[in-house]
Structure 1
Amino acid sequence: MREVDVVGVRVEMPSSQPIVLLREVGGERYLPIWIGAAEASAIAFAQQGMEPPRPLTHDLFASVIELLGHRLTQVRIVNLNEGVFEAVLVFDDKTEISARPSDSIALALRTGTPVFCADEILAEAGIPVPELDSADDEVEEEEEVERFREFLDHVSPEDFDKS
């Protein structure tokens, strides 16, 4: 398993399909996952620190976990089957629950939980995007977002068809 950061959410054109982009920590591979509009909004809200007037489903689930005395310790993206990603929520008592990656990521952002991806999935669906030359080891957030936009402007679902 490799830890990944959530770079952001963007709408892929011309299909208008939302994508969440994950970046391998300490590596150069990016993993785009096509997601639903509601989950895209939930992820974007969490990244921007926005609190809706009433809790969204992911906020509710985070509260339930806490009130039951548990903690989400990991989100794992564990499988890619015919273009469909599968994730697992891992709790402090080692309980694992199958979930969609989009819901899992939205929950992870709300709870400060790390997200991991299976090496095989990064090898199969990850796209290498070399880092920009920079004096600092850390790429500024604005540069990262711009690279994400450029990447999405040139990627299509067919790029992931390995057949």
Structure 2
Amino acid sequence: MQELRVVGVRVELPGNQPILLLKETQGERYLPIWIGAVEAAAIAFEQQGVRPARPMTHDLLREVVRALGAELEAVNITEMRDGIYIAELVFGNERVVSARPSDAVALAVRTGAPIYGADDLLDEVGIEIPDEQEDEVEKFREFLDQISPEDFGAGSGSGGSGGGGPA
């Protein structure tokens, strides 16, 4: 397993499909995951420190986990099966719960839990961005700093973890 960090969420054009972009902390590969608009907004809200008046679903889940005396130890993105990414939530009591990567990452950014990607998965679908495109990644980061979660709109997407559909 390789530790990953959240680079951010962007919208792929022309389909307006949000993409979660993760990158190895000790490597050069990126893991792009197509996600739903609601999950994109949830991740972007947390990254930008936006606090809604009432808890969002992932905020509620964090509080439920705490209330039950558990702690999210890690998020593992383990494989892609039939074009769908598979993730798991690993809790301190050694319990593992299957989850969509978008939900798992939204919870991880709220709890500070590390995110890992399986070596086989990164070998299969990880992408390297050539040096000349690193400037584009930096521009993307700057873009993320300038947008608000409302730019994503909480549309009808249910979120999922598909390769070409919502994650």
Q: Taking structure 1 as the reference length, what is the TM-score of the superposition?
A: 0.81
- Deviation of residue 13 (structure 1)? 0.3
Query: What's the counterpart of residue 60 of structure 1?
Result: 60
Tell me how large the CA RMSD over aligned residues is: 2.3
C-alpha spacing 1:127/1:52, structure 2 compared with 1 (3 Å): same
SS in 2 for 1:42: helix
Structure 1 stretches of 5 or more lacking a match? Answer: 133-138, 149-156, 159-163
C-alpha spacing 1:17/1:115, structure 2 compared with 1 (3 Å): same
Give the fraction of aligned pairs with identical amino acids, expressed as a percent.
53
C-alpha spacing 1:87/1:3, structure 2 compared with 1 (3 Å): same
Structure 2: how far apart are the matches of 1:145 and 1:28? 16
SS in 2 for 1:106: helix
Could you list the per-position Cα deviations for residues 105-136 of structure 1 after superposition, in whole angstroms to 9, with x for gaps in the alignment? Answer: 0000000000000001111110012457xxxx
Structure 2: how far apart are the matches of 1:23 and 1:98? 22
Q: Which amino acid aligns with 1:45?
A: F
Query: What's the counterpart of residue 29 of structure 2?
Result: 29
- Deviation of residue 146 (structure 1)? 5.5
Mapping of residues 1-163 of structure 1, within 5 Å: 1-130=1-130, 142=138, 145=141
8 Å CA contact 1:43, 1:109 repeated in 2: yes
Structure 2: how far apart are the matches of 1:115 and 1:28? 16
Could you list the per-position Cα deviations for residues 54-100 of structure 1 after superposition, in whole angstroms to 9, with x for gaps in the alignment? Answer: 00000000001111111000000011012210100000000000000
SS in 2 for 1:59: helix
Structure 2 stretches of 5 or more lacking a match? Answer: 145-162
8 Å CA contact 1:4, 1:22 repeated in 2: yes
Q: Which has the higher contact order (CA 8 A, sep 6+)?
A: 2
C-alpha spacing 1:48/1:99, structure 2 compared with 1 (3 Å): same
Which one is further off, 122-131 or 74-83? Answer: 122-131
Structure 2: how far apart are the matches of 1:102 and 1:126? 17
C-alpha spacing 1:47/1:131, structure 2 compared with 1 (3 Å): farther
